[in-house]
Structure 1
């Protein structure tokens, strides 16, 4: 009852925004786990070239994120959300309708500009409508909505793809259209002033931040294997069905929704060093475990281990970076942190695809090596940071 009363203190605008976030992210997860499968099996493009297309998409996504925050202050939160959803609807419809390879590749690359364009606007809108004392709780609820969308989208996408693979794009377009209508009718504009442009020049002088960001590129590469390489590995090597692939990706979202808060509580008691080391061990064990996978249940165990690593590392490093940041540069610090994770995803899309074409299991060995690098990096970084704080 107390929890229901607590939720009731959030405005209807917040809950509409949560639902919009859920629907918008569901549209993305309808197709994302199956994009390399579609490129390879339906368009006849190699996994390496498909990985290059995904890398370009991710680079453009990163570039749009670099300016999206300022755009949300200049154009408005609601306006940018609508722009992102409507352009995605048009592009998804195009991906469903086009049949030639070049048009598909161009459209998919362009989608990178718009797929996350509304994310900073969404986060800013939460801050606009929720009092500061309740924002941590509000962003936690938003994270549940995002991961709930992963569960719903990847599961529904697997069911749709098993019957008609291109139909996942039609479903994504329809969902973006419905979500756009909900934003237009249900959400009010919340921004009230224009913000000055931000720059990363000062931020780039912080060596501690750059060290963490480098390590997060490594973590991003490893985490990217879960949604980029593992689906195509499951399809071509393990001969799993699309429904199986959608289900093991849904497991990641289910674990985040259920275990993120209790794992974070345990992580706080463990301390940042132990949490990061344990997270790297889970990451490394899960990805190396893919080498010997012979049954679907083994894939589920590997995904569970990687997810445990994610639950330990992502909140810990986010808090670490926010602690490193001076108040006046906190947004820039967090922006560079987020970009570093996307850079890891882009690197995995590019390098992982080429490695997969050469040797289908080599990417898991590389991930194991990177896991050791991340573990050592976090351990010595934390040791250095504590040594400096004691001086």
Structure 2
């Protein structure tokens, strides 16, 4: 019996030991911070409508300003992390996000909410590429797919638990959700700062490549594989963003108890990601990331198109299952590919450039809303599924460029 327990403990130690302690802090922090974020942000529009009595146009501007600012902010943050080190960007970003949520709990004027959510988007866009770059810095190459898959699983654990807590707390005190979120981000910032200091990691190194912002922009502009990847992910996000924008409206209109069905579908989506991300990623590691993304695009397109034919429970569940499998394949593979494309000294810049994909998060709901109002839910979903499918063209072109770069490196090396 003791021998069995000893083997189990050794297995756990080996599993934990495969990643640096800071990687585990980032993963744990992702669960807590994303849970807190999903506890508040999905309910922000309702809070502004009920408590501040904001005009719907101002509410849309307030909610939409975050991804809009984040579109360019990620590249700036990634560049700064390469130039000045990961630690200052990570810690300043987390402390700023914490202050943003404390600010939400105190704000009473619409302008403050717009400013604070813009700052929220900017700070998150600084933190995201820098944290991904740090994971790559601290993880050996063959284990990075697993690390990014764990990170995506952590995000979805937070996404599954956060809204349930938010719905419960909103009935008690809406302001309390902002305060709790601010406290969680503040604690995360303190823990990460302490650990980065202990291991003397994340500070600016003397051998960092001192490139200006314009130099960095030119370097990325010349990387055709990265450009194709970003264009492809933008098209994917235009389709994927319908999951939480126009899809609930379509289901409410076309199905009895459509809103209830939608809530079940969201739970299915999050549960599938949590339980299937690691085994599916283990299989996906055997193939080229671009090939994985092409297959993921086909699955996502089929799922989106399937919702356009939805007439009941079965097809809805099948559609969300296909869409989720596409999601599981695409997003971690995207991080792996950016990591492989990036020169080591420009890793932050490349992950920052990857934030331009959020153009799709901004454009998707706008395009989807227009098509929904003008042509109906089914036509809207079929249209965005074709747009998502078009990403295959860019992924295929990007794969050719990437293979060419690898061949050139092999010749010169």
TM-score range, shorter chain: 0.7 to 0.9
8 A Cα contact 2:91 2:192, kept in partner = yes
8 A Cα contact 1:158 1:246, kept in partner = no
- Which SS does the other structure have where 1:191 is aligned? coil
Structure 2 vs 1, CA of residues 297 and 39 (structure 1 numbering), >3 Å: closer, same or farther? Answer: farther
The residue number in structure 2 matching 1:6 is 14
8 A Cα contact 1:291 1:361, kept in partner = no
- Which SS does the other structure have where 1:99 is aligned? coil
Give how far 1:204 is off: 2.0
CA distance in 2, matches of 1:250, 1:46: 31
Structure 2 residue corresponding to 1:31, chosen from 40, 49, 58: 40
CA distance in 1, matches of 2:193, 2:340: 37
The residue number in structure 1 matching 2:243 is 226
The residue number in structure 1 matching 2:408 is none
Give how far 1:104 is off: 2.0
Describe how 1:370-385 pairs up with structure 2 within 5 A: 370-378=384-392, 382=396
The residue number in structure 1 matching 2:105 is 96
8 A Cα contact 1:281 1:371, kept in partner = no
CA distance in 2, matches of 1:66, 1:292: 39
Q: Deviations over 1:328-376 (max 9, x none)?
A: 766655543x2242111121244445556x45944x6334223224424
State which drifts further: 42-51 or 141-150: 42-51
CA distance in 1, matches of 2:316, 2:172: 23
Structure 2 vs 1, CA of residues 328 and 94 (structure 1 numbering), >3 Å: closer, same or farther? Answer: closer
The answer on 1:122 being equivalent to 2:152 is: no
CA distance in 1, matches of 2:186, 2:82: 24
Structure 2 vs 1, CA of residues 88 and 231 (structure 1 numbering), >3 Å: closer, same or farther? Answer: farther
- Structure 2 residue runs of 5 or longer lacking an equivalent are 1-7, 405-413
Give how far 1:322 is off: 5.7
Structure 2 vs 1, CA of residues 296 and 116 (structure 1 numbering), >3 Å: closer, same or farther? Answer: farther
Q: Deviations over 1:164-197 (max 9, x none)?
A: 5554323322322332333344542413415323
Give how far 1:98 is off: 2.4
The answer on 1:110 being equivalent to 2:119 is: yes
CA distance in 1, matches of 2:340, 2:85: 29
Give how far 1:258 is off: 1.7
The answer on 1:79 being equivalent to 2:96 is: no
CA distance in 2, matches of 1:66, 1:380: 21
8 A Cα contact 1:281 1:375, kept in partner = yes
CA distance in 1, matches of 2:176, 2:59: 19
8 A Cα contact 1:286 1:301, kept in partner = yes
Structure 2 vs 1, CA of residues 32 and 301 (structure 1 numbering), >3 Å: closer, same or farther? Answer: farther
- Which SS does the other structure have where 1:116 is aligned? helix
The answer on 1:63 being equivalent to 2:72 is: yes
Structure 2 vs 1, CA of residues 303 and 54 (structure 1 numbering), >3 Å: closer, same or farther? Answer: farther
The residue number in structure 2 matching 1:368 is 382
The residue number in structure 1 matching 2:28 is 19
CA distance in 1, matches of 2:146, 2:289: 21
The residue number in structure 2 matching 1:342 is 358
State which drifts further: 44-53 or 168-177: 44-53
State which drifts further: 39-48 or 6-15: 39-48
Structure 2 residue corresponding to 1:216, chosen from 233, 238, 248: 233
CA distance in 2, matches of 1:125, 1:215: 25
The answer on 1:201 being equivalent to 2:218 is: yes
Structure 1 residue corresponding to 2:166, chosen from 136, 144, 157: 157
The residue number in structure 2 matching 1:190 is 201
Structure 2 residue corresponding to 1:282, chosen from 260, 278, 299: 299
Describe how 1:123-138 pairs up with structure 2 within 5 A: 123-131=132-140, 134-138=143-147
- Which SS does the other structure have where 2:218 is aligned? coil
8 A Cα contact 2:145 2:281, kept in partner = no
8 A Cα contact 2:81 2:130, kept in partner = yes
Q: Deviations over 1:51-100 (max 9, x none)?
A: 44333211212222112223335554343333222222222122233233
RMSD over aligned CA atoms reads 4.1
CA distance in 2, matches of 1:113, 1:130: 27
TM-score (norm 2): 0.75
8 A Cα contact 2:82 2:347, kept in partner = no
Structure 2 vs 1, CA of residues 110 and 234 (structure 1 numbering), >3 Å: closer, same or farther? Answer: farther
CA distance in 2, matches of 1:38, 1:176: 21
The residue number in structure 1 matching 2:3 is none
